Amino acid sequence: MAKSRLLMWPCIYLKNFKITEMKKSTFKIFLNIKPVLLILFIVGCGEDSIIIDTQALDQKIVEATSFLDGKEEGTQPGFYSNRTITKLENRIEWAQGILASNPIEQKLIDNAILILDAGIESIKASEIFSKYPKFTPGTSSMVSPGNIAYAPLDEFTVECRFKPASLNSVSGYGNEIVAHILCTDHQYVGADTGGYALRYYTNDLSPAGQLEFLVGIGAAPPYWSVVNAGVQIQELNKWYHIAATYNASTLTSKIYVDGVLAGEGTFAGPMVHDMANGGPRLGIGYSPMWDITDPAWNRRSNVDGQIIDVRIWGKELSSSEINDRKDDFLTNISQYTSLNAYWPLNAQMGNPIMDATGKYGLNVEGVDWVEPN
């Protein structure tokens, strides 16, 4: 049997080419369009010879490679979901291997074209568009599936942007914007009372829109200690930037609204944070204290509105640090060595939603994703 060989013919003569002598010879086929030459592999024998055209796959590889130009994987609007681009790059390399294989089969070429097409469509579908979460009282929550522990906690800052749709509240309970709370069952006090909550308080004892930062200080009264910034959230459907700091050495907290110091005070004791047991659970737009199976208690502390740009820092930020970054989502977060956790919440990224550091996830329930406004 004769060995396979590559035949190269000037394009003008190809239409007159025909195998007449070889009866059992097996030729391999490869087609590559060049300005002067058309390169072919020929398989078969006699009148049954088959010419396999690989031009379509060659063009599809060029199309897929060009499609990837300028696209990046990421978690922000304008980027593409993780692994989609990498997967298509691997498929392109695999398709190139098919063209270089020996022997080559038409079914492999056809399959490779379909797979590259699917990879292109998958990337198109994975583009991340800007969406903001809308929380509804009694329905919505973002909460960590387990305890979240991070350090240091001798000082920290929690900040976010909040747009209230209403200031309604379940009587006697605050509306937690960001809460990192540990309690015994759904009791407001208990042996393991600890953590913190940034919230607005609205009931018959407090004026609408009163902003507070409270910390749990343990099993003995007063259990919780609060720094009150007064009425700061008054206008509905308006974006507010809110930040609260904690300093264990001075037992002080400062609350900022739109980059301006709105209130400060001293706690009755240091915050309890049971790191030995993994720390408390974290909730956004919801207090994990009520996250139990008892329907009479579940979801008591929901906010009504939108929350984005949630950041937790392992340091007490200065007023200038807060003010300088209050209006923009963070980029290149690796430069912020004190950033413990960060949820931009500016794109619908599945469930659970991982923070930008890749360490912590939040389970999402009952949240609507709406166009930014």
Residue 32 has a pLDDT of: 38
Task: Give pLDDT, residue 150.
Answer: 67
Q: For the chain, which domains are there? A: 7-125 (1.20.1270.90), 132-370 (2.60.120.200)
First to last CA, the chain: 73
How is residue 40 written in tokens? 């072919």
The span from the CA of 340 to the CA of 259, in Å, is 21
The predicted pLDDT at position 172 comes to 54
Residues comprising the chain, all counted = 373
Residue with tokens 């396999």, as numbered in its chain: 52
Give bridge partners of residue 347 from the DSSP assignment: 130
- The residue whose two tokens read 């796959």 is 57
What is the predicted pLDDT for the residue at 170?
56
Residues of the chain short of pLDDT 70, as ranges, are 1-50, 149-152, 169-173, 181-192, 202-206, 274-280, 289-301
Q: What is the pLDDT of residue 222?
A: 80
Q: What CA–CA distance (Å, rounded) separates 244 from 311?
A: 11
Predicted pLDDT at 301: 57
Q: Is 30 helix (H, G, I), strand (E, B) or coil?
A: coil
Say what the pLDDT of residue 205 is: 59
Mind listing the pLDDT tens digit for each residue in 50-65? 677 889 999 999 999 9
pLDDT of residue 163: 96
Which two three-digit tokens encode residue 154?
């001798």
Question: What does the pLDDT read at residue 290?
Answer: 55
